[in-house]
Amino acid sequence: MVITGTVGKVGLIGHPVGHSKSPEIWNDAFENQEIPYIYLPFDVSTGDLGSAVSGLKSLGFRGFNVTIPHKVSVMNFLDEIEEEAVEIGAVNTVINDGGRLIGTNTDGEGYIQSLQSETGLTLAGQHIVLLGAGGAARAVGTALAKAGAAQITIANRTMDKAEALASRLQRWTRTNAILLEQIASPLQDASLLVQTTSVGMSPNKEACPIDPELLHSDLLVSDLIYHPRQTRLLKEAKIRGARVHSGLGMLVHQAALAYQRWIGKDAPIKQMMETLDQSLKNE
């Protein structure tokens, strides 16, 4: 594609963003569908967030994705927050609608689409243990609760954040908040373990968020990390006979939902998945 002044612009803001695979996925999809758009990543420090949001608007960006650590604080600089993002308490996608910046969140729905399409799991009635209580946990936890989970136990390093998320999810399901070291008993009775923290992410590939001996064959273990493709947690789960689900699908499905909002077309999900998979294999 020839870059001219008429090329549409979307992008990503976060800190850091150098590791992100999103530019490869998006730009390959644009080329595949012959859409005159470009996707650009921007490393934005916390103190520069407001200026960056204003700058992207002034430069005519159609929208942008938001990643760590800005998913909550970016809400202060937007004109409107959609209900899904309000419920989650975080924004991962911003749409520029004629100069009005609208925040939404595609993480939860993208995760559910990935989990169900890849595992066939029926979420109604599941007993779930959620590792972590940050922005990703809020998005995924909200989606799981609204999908009919029977109970969600939030295990976190600090109790205050676990309790805050448990309180937020109580409107849809039964919840419980525990410290990470108290996970043994709830995990024994769980059917789904969802890992939302950064523990095990490259380059710290040998790190595991819990004692692997606590994993069992009645679990489906889902790790939101996609780099590496198979975390140590997933490897340990497979050794013990558990089913596993990686974070590759969530990254693609949440991106596809943003793609539709920005471009007005269905994203080439299969191709985006292949692009991501090949990129990780080449590292």
What is the per-residue pLDDT across 16-52, written as a single tens digit (0 to 9) for each?
998 889 999 999 999 989 999 999 999 999 999 999 9
The pLDDT assigned to 68 comes to 86
The pLDDT assigned to 262 comes to 97
- The one catalytic residue in 9, 57, 71, 235 is 71
In the predicted model, is pLDDT for residue 135 greater than 90? no
Average pLDDT over the chain, rounded to an integer? 95
Q: Binding residue per annotation — 48?
A: no
Q: Binding residue per annotation — 21?
A: yes
Asked if residue 239 and residue 115 are part of one domain, the reply reads: yes
Q: Which of 93-126 are b and which e, b meaning 16 or more Cβ less than 10 Å from the residue's Cβ?
A: bbbbeeeebbbbbbbbbbbbbbbeebeebebeeb
Query: What's the total number of domains in the chain?
Result: 2
In the predicted model, is pLDDT for residue 1 greater than 80? no
Query: Is residue 59 classed exposed, middle or buried when 0-12, 13-18 and 19+ CB atoms within 10 A define those classes?
Result: exposed
Other Cβ atoms closer than 10 A to 262: 24
**Average pLDDT for 61-86:** 95
- pTM exceeding the 0.95 threshold for the entire prediction: no
Structure tokens belonging to residue 1: 């594609």
Q: Binding residue per annotation — 148?
A: no
The pLDDT assigned to 280 comes to 86
In a domain, 1, yes or no: no
In a domain, 39, yes or no: yes
Asked if residue 233 and residue 118 are part of one domain, the reply reads: yes
Q: State pLDDT tens for residues 208-261.
A: 999 999 999 999 999 999 888 899 999 999 999 999 999 999 999 999 999 999
Question: HSE (CB half, 13 Å, CA atoms) of 9?
Answer: 15
Asked if residue 88 and residue 48 are part of one domain, the reply reads: yes
In a domain, 2, yes or no: no
Q: Binding residue per annotation — 202?
A: no
d(CA 30, CA 259): 10
270 is catalytic: no
Q: Binding residue per annotation — 136?
A: yes
- Residue 205 sits at φ, ψ, to 5 deg, of -70, -20
Asked if residue 149 and residue 119 are part of one domain, the reply reads: yes
In a domain, 125, yes or no: yes
The pLDDT assigned to 172 comes to 97
Question: In 3-state terms, what secondary structure has residue 200?
Answer: coil
Asked if residue 118 and residue 76 are part of one domain, the reply reads: no
- The residue segments making up the domain with residue 191 are 108-246
Q: Binding residue per annotation — 39?
A: no
